[in-house]
Amino acid sequence: MAATWVPDVSPDSPFSLANIPFGIISSPANPAPHVAIAIGSQVLDLKVLSSYPDFDDLFPALKNYPGIFSNSTLNEFAALGRPVHREVRSTIQNLLSAETSRPEILKDNLGLRQDAVLPQQKVKMHLPMSIGDYTDFYAGFHHAYYVGALFRGPQAALQPNYTHLPVGYHGRASSIVVSGTPIKRPFGQIITDPTAEPKHPTTAPSRRLDIELELGCFISIPNEMGSPIKVTNAEDHIFGYVLLNDWSARDIQTWEYVPLGPFNGKNFATTISPWIVLADALEPFRTKQIDNWTPLQGYLNEGKEENIFGIELQVDLETPQGDSTRICTTSSKYLMWSFPQMIAHHTLGGCPLRTGDLLGSGTISGPSQGERGSFLELSEGGRKDIMLQGMDVRRFLKDGDRITIQGVCGEPGQKVGFGECTGQILQATPQL
């Protein structure tokens, strides 16, 4: 991959020329949300670029979609499908390359460059998609095993269905927020004395507020109701990927989840990173998923081994005092189920997925203590202190804590990453 002419693109930037992630920005000059891509510490404003007189010749696949980069979401662009995404991304890479074949458009056009290439700190990020539905899976093998062992013991850690199908539940799309949005501690019914019988809940702010380190996948091409998506075709229905933190109130969840599963313990907030890394950008980083010793049903058999990505993931906690600690370093290679398998299972009964639907991988953890992607695991169910900088400790999140998730793959100068997925915990609002 050639270098870029865009100034100040650090070799460690997750937004190299090899990436070109898409997002929705607003700027002082263009306050209405619209489409841009990230390059280094800059953004390329695609709404401004579309004012170039030869824009239709540059992007022939978009000729019948005037104003597509003026939209407030990426849904219309996503729905055009992967071949169009690939063509547009390739053209942008050429325009930003130091060896561009069209230097007159941006590289040598100082006027357009001044308007279209903006510092990231000068723009505001917005949710990249209009999200109609959200489904969260449980595909992280080590997380599923360790949490199961905490509550049921090692011999019964995994439920009998776990290796047969991608377990999932439907979440709440209305509370998905973009990185940087503060998260208010939720109220719910909780049990303060787990030894008491019978159980007597109280309504109070969650005392066991947690994170879940996940990867998210956005749907591009929908399927018709009653028409399942074949696992071998599922890649054609994927737009791209984000980092995802499915904030979890463990004490609320523990009391409410029987028999129908998570509800208020999960639906108060989910944070995603603002830049969508297109599916093609992650192709060079395919790797083998966790071995599944159970023979698969035919509809889940992809026919290939390298069906997930080896993204290096990390979680940092910053206390209200400003001390920061890296509490987790792991990898997305620890998934047992791939997103194509999740899509195939999701639609098996004929469920229609729509453009902009979001799928979460479930918590991603590795086999060692420092690779656990939730406080539930790190604190061994709330029984062990997690040591932090500044002589502080945590078992779960305190008010004022800020969580930052990052993910990246690739060599210096060619890194493909997501930027930050961050949120700070605010005090619960007193009930009336």
Give the mean pLDDT of 222-235: 98
Whether residue 54 has pLDDT greater than 80: yes
Tokens 């969840």 correspond to what residue?
A: 253
Are 187 and 122 contained in the same domain?
no
Are 100 and 205 contained in the same domain?
no
| C-alpha distance from residue 370 to each of 12, 132, 198, 379 (Å) | 23, 35, 37, 11
Whether residue 431 has pLDDT greater than 90: no
Identify the helix (H) or strand (E) that includes residue 142.
Answer: helix 141-152
Q: Is residue 12 situated within a structural domain?
A: no
Q: What tokens appear for 266 in the block?
A: 């999960």
Are 26 and 88 contained in the same domain?
yes
Are 120 and 154 contained in the same domain?
no
Whether residue 432 has pLDDT greater than 70: no
Q: What's the chain's average pLDDT?
A: 97
In whole angstroms, give the CA distance from residue 20 to residue 18: 7
Q: What is the pLDDT of residue 305?
A: 86
Given 75, 107, 126, which residue is the final one in a domain?
126
Are 111 and 209 contained in the same domain?
no
**Residue 232 neighbours by CB under 8 Å, 6+ apart:** 302, 303, 340
Torsion (CA) 220, 132, 65, 68 in degrees, nearest 10: -100
Identify the helix (H) or strand (E) that includes residue 96.
Answer: helix 82-96
Q: What is the pLDDT of residue 368?
A: 96
- Which CATH number belongs to the domain containing residue 117 in this structure? 2.30.30.230
Number of domains observed in the structure of the chain: 2
Are 295 and 312 contained in the same domain?
yes
| Selection from 93, 55, 61 nearest residue 77 by Cα | 61
Query: How many percent of the chain have pLDDT more than 90?
Result: 96
Whether residue 195 has pLDDT greater than 90: no
- Which CATH number belongs to the domain containing residue 382 in this structure? 3.90.850.10
Whether residue 407 has pLDDT greater than 90: yes
Q: What is the pLDDT of residue 430?
A: 78
Given 106, 126, 146, which residue is the final one in a domain?
126
Please confirm, yes or no, whether 143 is among the known catalytic residues.
Answer: yes
In whole angstroms, give the CA distance from residue 67 to residue 348: 36
Are 78 and 149 contained in the same domain?
no
Are 50 and 165 contained in the same domain?
no
Strands 42-45 and 168-170: unpaired
Are 326 and 367 contained in the same domain?
yes
Are 265 and 120 contained in the same domain?
no
Are 283 and 372 contained in the same domain?
yes
Q: Is residue 11 situated within a structural domain?
A: no
Give the mean pLDDT of 92-112: 96
Q: What is the pLDDT of residue 298?
A: 98
Q: What is the pLDDT of residue 142?
A: 98
In whole angstroms, give the CA distance from residue 118 to residue 275: 16
Q: Which domain holds residue 114?
A: 22-126
Are 159 and 79 contained in the same domain?
no
Q: What is the pLDDT of residue 2?
A: 76
In whole angstroms, give the CA distance from residue 34 to residue 24: 5
pLDDT tens across 330-382, in order?
999 999 999 999 999 999 999 999 999 999 999 999 999 999 999 999 999 99
Given 86, 106, 126, which residue is the final one in a domain?
126
Query: How many percent of the chain have pLDDT more than 70?
Result: 99
pLDDT tens across 126-161, in order?
999 999 999 999 999 999 999 999 999 999 999 999
Q: Is residue 14 situated within a structural domain?
A: no
Q: What is the pLDDT of residue 129?
A: 98
Q: Is residue 1 situated within a structural domain?
A: no
Backbone torsion region of residue 27, taken as left when φ is above 0, otherwise alpha when ψ lies between -120 and 50, otherwise beta: beta
Q: Is residue 15 situated within a structural domain?
A: no
**Catalytic: which of 85, 142, 143, 237?**
143
In whole angstroms, give the CA distance from residue 360 to residue 272: 10
Give the mean pLDDT of 54-76: 96
